[in-house]
């Protein structure tokens, strides 16, 4: 029997109420769109957010099936890409969409966006985990066209390191980037980028890097140990503050789920433990 790494997610009755309330909100928003006679509006952005929340909470609820949880994840990615297409395609074009047999024609807006890099990386993780790799082209175009920004040096380094380790954009010198990150963590200057910024760099950035390094070394035993440590650090990050620990985003380790998907598809790597932060039925699907 596999050992189990416990999560910080508790009060399942309360989370079931939150899950049901979020689902009701999602369905209500879609119903509102269906009542719009013009069929030219749909809540893709809020739908994406709701479905990610439903996925993260539902994954921990015994009453929600794995298929339902998986459906939430894939619907979130679908809504994300429809939202992005409607935003960035030139004005005058149409994004077609069908919901419950009703056809919508969403007009495009041709906007230039300004997306914080941490938010943009969540789009990357979601797309990798769902295996819809062709959509990475659109997301990388956002980066390459200057529509993604990092508000701090630590976040810029985080983005550089993650993209390099996922093989999406080579760093000019990944060793230098890691050294720069660790030097910044040790300096007082990092505190100017946010009270908890150094903790994020240690628990999330370096945890992800250590996992992906073992994947590239094709060492499954080292990968399993690094993933276990990284999930412990994920828990440390998401429980460093009582209010912070209630954010559903922390209920699943999306960066590490993307790493697990990468490791499983490329080398067939599996884990010798179970953890609710990292549902195997998702990354092995």
Per-residue pLDDT tens for 47-75? 999 999 999 999 999 999 999 999 999 99
**How confident is the model over 232-236, as a mean pLDDT?**
97
Q: Cα-Cα-Cα-Cα dihedral of 213, 215, 217, 222, to 10°?
A: 90
| Pairing mode, strands 102-107 and 115-116 | unpaired
pLDDT at site 41: 94
Q: Which DSSP string corresponds to 157-174?
A: HHHHHHHHHTTSS--S-H
pLDDT at site 241: 84
Confidence of residue 2 (pLDDT cuts 50, 70, 90): confident
Beta strands in the chain (DSSP E): 3-5, 94-99, 102-107, 115-116, 148-149, 273-275
**How confident is the model over 167-187, as a mean pLDDT?**
95
Is 127 in contact with 137 (CB distance < 8 Å)? no
pLDDT digits (tens, 9 = 90+) for 6-23: 999 999 999 999 999 999
pLDDT at site 224: 98
Distance CA 84, CA 142 (A): 10
Sequence-distant (6+) residues with CB within 8 A of 191 are 197, 198
Confidence of residue 195 (pLDDT cuts 50, 70, 90): confident
pLDDT at site 244: 85
pLDDT at site 149: 97
pLDDT at site 193: 66
Confidence of residue 197 (pLDDT cuts 50, 70, 90): confident
Which letter does DSSP use for residue 252 in this model? S
Q: Which DSSP string corresponds to 100-126?
A: TTEEEEEEP--PPP-EEHHHHHHHHHH
Distance CA 157, CA 164 (A): 11
Confidence of residue 169 (pLDDT cuts 50, 70, 90): very high
**How confident is the model over 262-270, as a mean pLDDT?**
98
Sequence-distant (6+) residues with CB within 8 A of 84 are 123, 138, 139, 142
**How confident is the model over 242-256, as a mean pLDDT?**
93
pLDDT at site 186: 87
Helices vs. strands in the chain: H and E counts, helices first: 12, 6
Structure tokens at 248: 């559903």
pLDDT at site 1: 75
pTM over 0.85: yes
Provide the residue count of the chain: 285
Comparison of pLDDT for 242 and 92, the residue scoring more: 92
């Amino acid at each position: 029997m596999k050992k189990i790494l416990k999560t910080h997610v508790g009060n399942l009755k309360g989370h079931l109420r939150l899950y049901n309330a979020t689902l009701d909100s999602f369905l209500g928003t879609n119903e509102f769109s269906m009542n719009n006679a013009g069929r030219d509006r749909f809540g893709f952005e809020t739908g994406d957010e709701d479905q990610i929340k439903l996925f993260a909470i539902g994954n921990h609820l015994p009453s929600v099936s794995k298929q339902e949880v998986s459906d939430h994840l894939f619907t979130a990615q679908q809504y994300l890409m429809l939202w992005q297409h409607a935003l960035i395609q030139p004005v005058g074009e149409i994004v077609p969409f069908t919901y419950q047999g009703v056809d919508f024609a969403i007009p495009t807006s041709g906007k230039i966006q300004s997306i914080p890099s941490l938010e943009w990386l969540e789009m990357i993780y979601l797309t990798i985990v769902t295996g819809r790799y062709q959509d990475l082209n659109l997301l990388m175009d956002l980066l390459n066209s200057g529509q993604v920004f990092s508000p701090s040096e630590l976040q810029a380094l985080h983005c550089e390191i993650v993209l390099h380790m996922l093989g999406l954009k080579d760093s000019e010198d990944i060793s230098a980037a890691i050294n720069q990150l660790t030097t910044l963590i040790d300096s007082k200057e990092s505190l100017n980028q946010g009270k908890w910024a150094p903790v994020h760099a240690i628990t999330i950035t370096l945890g992800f890097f250590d996992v992906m390094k073992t994947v590239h070394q094709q060492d499954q035993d080292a990968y399993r140990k690094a993933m276990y440590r990284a999930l412990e650090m994920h828990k440390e990050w998401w429980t460093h503050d009582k209010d912070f620990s209630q954010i559903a985003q922390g209920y699943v380790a999306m960066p590490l789920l993307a790493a697990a998907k990468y490791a499983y598809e490329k080398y067939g790597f599996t884990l010798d433990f179970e953890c609710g932060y990292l549902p195997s039925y998702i990354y092995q699907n």
